[in-house]
Amino acid sequence: MRDPECWGRDRYTESPTTGWRSAFVATLLIVDDIESARSEIRSVVENNAIFDRIIEAPDGIRGLKLLLSEAVDVVVCDLEMPGFDGEKLLRAKEVNKGGSNVPFIVVTASEDLNRRTRLLERGASDVISKPFHGPDLAARLQLHLKVKKLQDELMVKNETLARLSTSDSLTGLRTRRYVTDVLSIEFLRARRYHSKLSVLMGDLDHFKQVNDTYGHLTGDAVLRGVSGLLSKQLRKTDVGGRYGGEEMIVVLHQCGIDAAATFAERWRDGIETAEFRTADGSGCVPVSISIGVSEYHPDMMSPEDLIAAADRALYRAKDAGRNRVEVATEL
């Protein structure tokens, strides 16, 4: 017999380049302790071609595990099950971010109106009576799936808008405002928990000459290339941003001065050895960067002190001949 938790995976197509197919794969989770009841719901779904994928669980505990580990779009759950029943699964779903936005349909033989009302108040999307009418169940599933798709599309659009509003349109790095907001939070965390925090200030050398000699299109391409090299080095907890013009700022969470200096040197060396082409592709552009590095110190009063220390180190790098990394030696 096929594993009930893997039902429908043979219909889940795979791309040789990206793994699972990128198109929306509508997934239904059926939770019921009676196999014949799961089979009846499955037949309705397959006969109406509502979902691409069906996964099943014979109890609430395994249902919750699937809900939190799989990309589930709609849940159909029996109310009366031994131990971890449908009502407990509903409550668990509502407190877990992974499943809180998933439509939850309760199937029950109970005619207790007060209990049905309580289920809806606690987050159930729908309550269907047993025995159910096939066409009615199919129509409700189609409606809830449509709503879920629209919610997912809206969430993606909102995330995209949020990203665009906090990102520099040319380089793709974060905006100055975003980085300084993050730094303010990290500064308070470092002060409270005595954790490590470092800041890098980088400025491209003789960038005005690049624009004057090769044109602004080439200058823009250089900025994108330098930003790309930075982005490849960043950890998920790090934040890199465009501070202004050709100046960039990096916030390194849980990173001491030595590791930050190593990070800066790797970035500097990557820029020095990279090949930057002119906009028309006719030649190469020499590019280098000077970087100042500072680390949080308890005597610092504000995030601006951390930036100022990195900025002073940056100017020392410029004065020392450019294309180098300097570490802050004073607050």
Asked if 27 contacts 64 with a C-beta cutoff of 8 angstroms, the reply is no
Q: Does the annotation count 5 as an active-site position?
A: no
Cα–Cα distances in Å, from 191 out to 3, 88, 187, 194, 303? 52, 42, 6, 5, 11
CA distances in angstroms from 91 to 24, 95, 130, 186, listed in the order given: 27, 7, 22, 34
Find out whether 204 and 266 touch, Cβ atoms under 8 Å.
no
Q: Which of 246, 265, 272, 304 is catalytic?
A: 246
Q: What distance in Å separates the CA atoms of residue 235 and residue 239, rounded to the nearest whole number?
A: 8
Tally of CB atoms within 10 A around 137: 21
Backbone angles phi, psi at 3, to 5 degrees: -60, 120
Tokens of 322: 């450019």
CB distance 243 to 203 below 8 Å: no
Give helix then strand counts, H and E, for the chain.
10, 14
Active site residues: 246
